[in-house]
């Protein structure tokens, strides 16, 4: 970490002093420490590339714009930015890249990467020393042994409790509900759900605690050819969903926005949410603490980890400049620290993460995230979410007279879709 620190590009445009550039060749390339970033950039192949187009979202645009200005000063390459709706980027990327009119790079969530690789629209990147990043961030953007993104942030859900009502963290779901009921809060526990599709993402920790992961989990990630959310363990989870729906511990009429509003008004003891909700709780004056998701089954409740980063287009005509901008500039710890400030997501870069970890909220979510698993980045996920969520909603609502049959039907549908490709 010391070599990386010595060569860290402290971007002047971000309010700090430029002392060097993080080399794409890795932390042990001592020659890179002696070079001037501006001088090296002016004579590099990137300087002849002209310009590149990067898609970003409105939230991150101010930081990326300042980084682009520094990149222009250092290399002579213009980085044009287009602000896009984050949720629409994957579909637009697949549509526009093959036409040659798409961007050279785009901000994105990691779970769409497998689909991008399958469609041939992203190019692998050379990150150099991958130990500069959290392991889970690298794993998230890895497909078939190649890295297809520069990660900049991680995120996961955890249990947030109002310490006015409850002082200690619960160990199990049942204990949490009991603590919530005794606390005097109007709502013992909240998790935002959709009336038609529930929320497999937020409910996944409980599903995992029954030993029913969505796919078989191996050391290098999920094996999408083996759906493992069915069978006896999946059916136990389905039965649990029915019980919690009947008891109103899971309520389809309480959406994400409603759940955050109720907790912010001091009406709930516990809420299952992510770091994106904390600003609202702070503004509302809620005193809270963060802990692991309590287990509902006989195994740990492991949430998904989402990782955000930047893809490089497989059709870019400026690969050298694009790689340089993403790896050496967006991947820089100081830049990632600035991105953290506008997004409240822990940085993917380890050096930036260690700085952010001084914040107790980041540290708490990070502790939970260390035991979590990357959300599958396989193309098959497109075949999973709809059937999965609809089944959960039917079971929670009580519309499914037989939770086991409803769950098994959804699992079969998912399997059939994956086999058909």
Place of tokens 């779970």: 111
**Of 8, 2, 7, nearest in space to 336 by CA:** 8
Note the pLDDT tens digit of each residue in 21-66. Answer: 322 333 333 323 322 233 333 334 444 459 999 999 999 999 999 9
pLDDT number for residue 51:
95
- pLDDT confidence band for 373 (50 / 70 / 90): confident
Same domain, 145 and 252: no
What's the DSSP call for residue 48? Answer: G
The answer to whether residue 16 is domain-embedded is: no
Contact 51, 80 (CB under 8 A): yes
The pair of structure tokens assigned to 394 is 């039917």
Residues in the chain: 421
| Sign, CA torsion 198/203/207/213 | positive
Instruction: Choose one of 339, 355, 374: the last residue of a domain.
Output: 374
Backbone phi, psi, residue 202, to 5°? -75, -30
Spatial distance between the Cα atoms of 232 and 235, rounded to a whole number of angstroms: 5
The per-residue DSSP string of 313-329 comes to ETT-S-HHHHHHIIIII
Backbone phi, psi, residue 80, to 5°? -85, 135
pLDDT number for residue 1:
36
| Sign, CA torsion 306/307/310/315 | negative
Spatial distance between the Cα atoms of 187 and 266, rounded to a whole number of angstroms: 10
Backbone phi, psi, residue 94, to 5°? -65, -35
The answer for residues whose C-beta is within 8 angstroms of residue 101's C-beta and 6 or more apart is none
Same domain, 247 and 320: no
- pLDDT confidence band for 226 (50 / 70 / 90): confident
Quickly count: other Cβ atoms within 10 Å of residue 39's Cβ.
10
Note the pLDDT tens digit of each residue in 142-201. Answer: 998 999 999 999 999 999 999 999 999 999 999 999 999 999 999 999 999 999 999 999
The answer to whether residue 15 is domain-embedded is: no
Q: How many helices (H) and strands (E) does the chain have?
A: 18, 15
The answer to whether residue 190 is domain-embedded is: yes
Spatial distance between the Cα atoms of 113 and 32, rounded to a whole number of angstroms: 31
Same domain, 166 and 315: no
pLDDT for residue 383 is more than 90 = no
pLDDT number for residue 420:
77
Spatial distance between the Cα atoms of 293 and 296, rounded to a whole number of angstroms: 9
- pLDDT confidence band for 421 (50 / 70 / 90): low
CATH number, position 336: 3.40.190.10
Same domain, 310 and 279: no
Spatial distance between the Cα atoms of 17 and 9, rounded to a whole number of angstroms: 8
The answer to whether residue 365 is domain-embedded is: yes
Same domain, 281 and 412: yes
Backbone phi, psi, residue 304, to 5°? -80, 150
The answer to whether residue 36 is domain-embedded is: no
Chain centroid to CA 321: 26
Same domain, 65 and 126: yes
- The strand ranges marked E within 117-276 are 122-123, 142-143, 146-147, 150-156, 158-162, 187-190, 215-218, 221-227, 268-273
The pair of structure tokens assigned to 104 is 């050279």
Same domain, 147 and 196: no
Give the number of C-alpha atoms closer than 13 A to the C-alpha of residue 49, restricted to the C-beta side: 27
Same domain, 297 and 361: no
Quickly count: other Cβ atoms within 10 Å of residue 198's Cβ.
25
DSSP 3-state of 147: strand
Task: Please state the domain count of the chain.
Answer: 2
User: What is the residue range of 69's domain?
Assistant: 51-155+306-374
Spatial distance between the Cα atoms of 268 and 333, rounded to a whole number of angstroms: 37
Spatial distance between the Cα atoms of 263 and 3, rounded to a whole number of angstroms: 45
Same domain, 408 and 268: yes
Contact 270, 161 (CB under 8 A): yes
Spatial distance between the Cα atoms of 312 and 314, rounded to a whole number of angstroms: 6
Write down the pTM of the prediction.
Answer: 0.81
Instruction: Note the maximum CA span of the chain.
Output: 71
Place of tokens 């002016």: 42
The answer to whether residue 45 is domain-embedded is: no
Contact 190, 263 (CB under 8 A): yes
Mean pLDDT, residues 266-286 taken together? 96
Note the pLDDT tens digit of each residue in 92-107. Answer: 999 999 998 899 999 9
What's the DSSP call for residue 101? Answer: -
Same domain, 237 and 335: no
Judge residue 124's burial from the number of C-beta atoms within 10 Å of its C-beta, 0-12 exposed, 13-18 middle, 19 or more buried.
Answer: middle
The answer to whether residue 5 is domain-embedded is: no
The answer to whether residue 57 is domain-embedded is: yes
Same domain, 96 and 196: no
Same domain, 180 and 268: yes
pLDDT for residue 68 is more than 60 = yes
């Amino acid at each position: 970490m010391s070599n990386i620190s010595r060569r860290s590009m402290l971007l002047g445009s971000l309010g700090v002093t430029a002392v060097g550039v993080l080399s794409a060749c890795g932390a042990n390339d001592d020659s890179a420490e002696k070079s001037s970033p501006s001088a090296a950039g002016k004579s590099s192949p990137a300087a002849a590339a002209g310009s590149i187009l990067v898609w970003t979202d409105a939230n991150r645009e101010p930081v990326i714009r300042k980084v682009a200005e520094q990149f222009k000063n250092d290399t002579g390459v213009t980085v044009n930015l287009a602000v896009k709706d984050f949720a629409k980027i994957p579909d637009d990327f697949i549509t526009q890249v093959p036409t040659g009119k798409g961007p050279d790079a785009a901000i994105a969530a990691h779970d769409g990467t497998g689909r991008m690789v399958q469609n041939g629209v992203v190019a692998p990147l050379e990150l150099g020393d991958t130990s500069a990043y959290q392991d889970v961030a690298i794993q998230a953007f890895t497909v078939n042994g190649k890295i297809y993104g520069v990660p900049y942030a991680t995120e996961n859900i955890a249990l947030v409790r109002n310490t006015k009502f409850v002082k200690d963290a619960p160990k199990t779901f049942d204990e949490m509900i009991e603590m919530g009921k005794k606390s005097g809060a109007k709502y013992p526990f909240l998790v935002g759900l959709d009336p038609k599709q529930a929320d497999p993402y937020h409910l996944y920790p409980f599903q995992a605690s029954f030993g029913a992961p969505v796919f078989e989990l191996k050391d290098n990630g999920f094996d999408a050819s083996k759906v493992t959310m069915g069978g006896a363990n999946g059916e136990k989870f389905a039965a649990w969903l029915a019980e919690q729906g009947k008891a109103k511990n899971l309520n389809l009429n309480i959406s994400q926005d409603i759940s955050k509003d109720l907790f912010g008004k001091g009406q709930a003891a516990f809420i299952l949410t992510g770091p994106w909700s904390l600003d609202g709780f702070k503004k509302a004056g809620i005193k809270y603490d963060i802990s692991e998701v309590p287990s509902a089954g006989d195994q740990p409740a492991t949430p998904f980890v989402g990782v955000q980063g930047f893809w490089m287009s497989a059709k870019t005509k400026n690969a050298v400049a694009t790689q340089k901008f993403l790896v050496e500039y967006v991947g820089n710890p100081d830049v990632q620290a600035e991105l953290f400030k506008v997004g409240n997501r822990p940085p993917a870069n380890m050096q930036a993460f260690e700085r952010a970890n001084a914040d107790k909220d980041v540290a708490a979510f990070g502790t939970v995230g260390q035991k979590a698993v990357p959300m599958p980045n396989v193309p098959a996920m497109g075949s999973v979410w709809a059937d999965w969520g609809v089944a959960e909603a039917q079971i929670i609502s009580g519309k499914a007279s037989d939770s086991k049959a409803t769950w098994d039907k959804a699992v079969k549908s998912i399997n059939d879709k994956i086999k058909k490709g």
